[in-house]
Structure 1
Amino acid sequence: MITHPFRRRGKVQLPPGLPGAERIPKYVLLEFHHLPNGNYSKRLTRGYVKGFEASMLGEMKKTRSRMARDLVACQSVVDIGCGGARLAGQLATQGIDDVHGLDPSPYMLQYGAEAHPSVTFAQGVMEAMPHEDNRFDGAAVLFVFHEMPPRYIHQGLAEVARVLRSGGCLVVAEPSPLHYQSGLVSAWRHFGWRGLYFRILAHLVHEPFVKAWHRFDLVSAAEAHGLKLEQVDEGMPIKYWRFRLAE
C-alpha cells in the first residue's frame, strides 16, 4: 500500500514466518519511499525494483557500470545492500568469479538469485556482515548509506574494513546533496530539466535518514577505519567515492 505523504507513516509489516526476521534491525522497518512493504512483499518486489530503476532515468545503470570498471581487477567482491542484484550480476558477467550479494530482504535475495544464479547470496546487513575476516578484495555500496542512521554507518564501515583484504577497494554511490539542497530555480539553472526532476523526486520520496546522511562526513568516517579516499565525484544526482584499505 502506498502511503500519502501527509498521512501518518506506517512501518513494515513482516509476513509471518519471514526467514531471518530476527536479524532485521528496527531502522530497516521504517517506511521508505511511501511504500512500507516494498522490500518485504513477494508480490511487490519485482515491480519495486523495476519502478526504482525507471525513476532514476538511466543513472543507476551508468553508476553500476562505473563501479564495475573500478572493481574489474578484483577476484572477489561483495555487493552490500544488493537489492535486486543488478550490480552483483554485472560484476559476475564481466568475469569476476567470486561475487556475493548481501541484503536483509529474503524477497530481494530470491529475485537476485533467480536473475543471477552465479552470484552467492546471504541475508544480513552491513553493520553485522556474516562473512569472515579478509574475505574480499572489493566491496560496493550502492544507495545504502542514506537509508541508515549515522551510528550504523560507522559500524558498517568497520565491518567493510574487516572483510576487505589489505589494499582492497570500496566503491560507494549515494544520492548527491547537489539536487537535494538546491532550490527549484537553482536546480533548473545549473542542471536543466533533469536537475529539476531529481530535486522534486528527492523531496517527494520519503527517506527517514537522508537529512542526517547529507550532514555525514563519509571521508573522515572511512579514514577512521583505514579506508583512504582515492577519488570523489560530486555528481548529480549521484555522488561517487572510491576508497582503498590501507596495506
Structure 2
Amino acid sequence: MSRGRSDRDLGEREGGGRGAFALDAAAQRSKAVAKAAWWTAAGGLAKFMTRPTEGKAAPRFASDAPPVSQGRLRRAYFAAFEKDAADVAAGLYPPMEDAPVDPAASILKAWDFLADAREVDQRRRRGDGVEVRDDPKSQGYPAYYRQNFHYQSGGWFTAESARRYDAQVEALFSGAAGAMRRRALSLLARHWRGRDQRVLAAVDVACGSGAFLRDLAQAFPRAALAGVDLSPAYLSEARTRSGRGTVQANAEHLPFGDGSLDAVTCVYLFHELPPRVRPIVAAELARVLKPGGVMAFADSVQPSDEPQLARMLEAFPAYFHEPFYGSYAEEDLPALFAAAGLRVVGQDKAFLTKALLLAK
C-alpha cells in the first residue's frame, strides 16, 4: 500500500471520530452542494448557448479508447467533495470560502463568464490559440506562454482574464476545481501537521489568480507564504484574493536562494509546459527546497491513472487549446522529478486531478 493511500485511510478514520470538526465538515459539504449546483448550471448554460461539439467548425478528434462511463465519472466527481469534507473533519484545514456567498457578485461573475463564452467558442472554431501574440502586453514573454490557453480571451495578460479565470475553471469542472486542487493541500497539511507554522516558508509557483494561494493562507495562517507567476494581471488578482505577497518571475528562474524554502506548491502548471521546459522547472523547484523540504504538486490525471477516462482526456486538448497536454499525458512524472532529486512520498487523486508530495 502506498503512503498516499494509507494517509488517506487514516484521514477518513480521523474524520469519522473528530467531533470537534464535525460542524466544519458539515459546513464544507453544504458549500460544496451550493457551489456544484451553481457552476453546473452556469457551465450547462454556456454549452447550450455555444454547442461546442456541433456544427461544421466544431473541433474533431479521433480516439480508440472506449466511451467514458457516465456512472464512473459521477462517482469520481462526488468523491472529490467527500475527500475535501473528510479533510476538514480531520482538522487538516478549515472550511474553504469558495462557494457563492454574495448573490449579486456571483450573478455578475456568472454573467461575465457567459458573455465571454461566445468569444471563446468562436476562437475555438477558428482554431486560433495564439491571438494574444498580437497584443503588445505579451511581448517579451516565452513563446510557449504567449497563447490563448483554453481559448480564453486575453490569454494570461489582462485583468479581465484574471478576474474571469476561476469562473471558467469552475464551470468546466462543475464546481469541483477547489476540491480537486486541495488534494495537494491535503498532502502538505498531513506532512506539516504538528509543525510550528511560524518557522515555515513556502511559495506557490504559477499561482495564477490566487485560488490555491488563498487555500494555503487559510490552512497555514502563520507561515511565510508568497505567490509567484509570470503575469502581472494574475498576480494582482492573487494578492487581492489571498492577502499574501507575490513575485513576478518565470518558474524556470526562481528568485530564491538554494535550499531556502520548506515547501513549494505547483498546481496545474506542468501540463502547460513544453516537454523541454518541464525538466528545467522541476530542477528549479528542487533547487530552492531545503534538504528534507517538500513539493506539493497537482495537475491533470493521466490516462495511466484513469484508463476509463482516456477518451475524455484525449478530447480535452482538442476543445480547450492545450498544445502540450498530449506530451504531458505520457510524461513519467515520478521519473521526471527523480531526475531533479525529488522522490514521491505521498499521493492522492480526486475526479480529474492527481496530487503528489515529493521530498528532496
For Structure 1 versus Structure 2, the TM-score category normalised by the shorter chain is 0.7 to 0.9
In the TM superposition, residue 8 of structure 1 has moved relative to its aligned partner by: 4.3
Closer, same or farther in 2 for the Cα pair 1:96/1:88, shift >3 Å? farther
What is the Cα deviation at residue 37 of structure 1? 1.8
- Residue 342 of structure 2 is matched in structure 1 by 227
The reply on whether 1:55 has 2:181 as its aligned counterpart is no
Alignment of 1:70-109 (within 5 A): 70-72=187-189, 73=192, 75-94=200-219, 95-109=221-235
Do 2:272 and 2:322's aligned partners in 1 also have CA atoms closer than 8 Å? Answer: yes
Q: Which residue of 2 aligns with 1:192?
A: none
State how 1:112-127 maps to structure 2 within 5 Å: 112-117=238-243, 119-127=244-252
Q: Kindly provide the amino acid, as one letter, of the partner of residue 227 in structure 2.
A: G
Q: Looking at both structures, which has the greater relative contact order when contacts are Cα pairs under 8 Å and sequence separation is at least 6?
A: 2
Q: CA, structure 1 residues 144+96, in 2 after alignment: closer, same or farther (shift >3 Å)? A: farther
Tell me the residue number matched to 2:50: none
**Which amino acid in 2 is paired with 1:205?**
F
User: In structure 2, what is the equivalent of residue 32 of structure 1?
Assistant: 149
1:21: Cα distance to partner?
A: 5.3
Is the CA contact 1:179–1:199 (under 8 Å) kept in the aligned structure 2?
no
Asked which structure has the greater CA Rg, the reply is 2
Alpha-carbon RMSD: 2.7
Matched letter for residue 208 of structure 1:
P
Mark the runs of 5 or more structure 2 residues left unpaired by the alignment.
1-118
CA contact (8 A) 1:178 1:236 kept: no
- Secondary structure in 1 matching 2:151: coil
Q: % of aligned pairs identical? A: 25
Matched with 1:43 is 160
For the residue of structure 2 that corresponds to 1:33, the secondary structure is: helix
Q: 1:183-234 deviations in whole A, cap 9, x for unaligned?
A: xxx54xxxxxxx9877755642120000011111111111111101113346
CA separation of 1:181 and 1:199: change in aligned 2, threshold 3 A = farther
Q: 1:129 to 1:176 in 2, by over 3 A?
A: same
**In structure 2, which of residues 178, 182, 185 is the aligned counterpart of residue 68 of structure 1?**
185
Give the partner amino acid of 1:156.
V
Q: Which has the higher strand share?
A: 1
Out of 173, 178, 182, the position equivalent to 2:298 is 173
CA shift in 2, pair 1:176/1:64, >3 Å: closer
Asked if structure 1 preserves the Cα contact closer than 8 Å seen for 2:207 and 2:229, the reply is: yes
SS of 1:226's equivalent?
A: coil
Which of residues 314, 317, 322 is equivalent to 1:207? 322
Residue 212 of structure 1 aligns to a residue whose secondary structure is helix
Number of aligned residue pairs: 231
Q: Which residue of 2 aligns with 1:157?
A: 282
Partner of 1:77: helix, strand, or coil?
strand
Which aligned segments of 4 or more residues in structure 1 are displaced greater than 3 angstroms?
5-9, 13-16, 178-182, 195-203, 232-236
In the alignment, is residue 4 of structure 1 matched against residue 124 of structure 2? yes
Return closer, same or farther for 1:38/1:179 CA change in 2, 3 Å cut-off: farther
Give 1:4 deviation, angstroms.
2.6
Shift of 1:68: 2.3
Checking the alignment, whether the CA contact within 8 Å between 2:188 and 2:357 is kept in structure 1 is no
Tell me what 1:111 maps to.
237
Take 1:60 and 1:172, find their aligned partners in 2: how far apart are those partners?
15
Structure 1: gaps (5+ residues) = 188-194
Tell me the distance in 1 between the aligned counterparts of 2:216 and 2:338. 26
Tell me the TM-score normalised to structure 2 length.
0.58
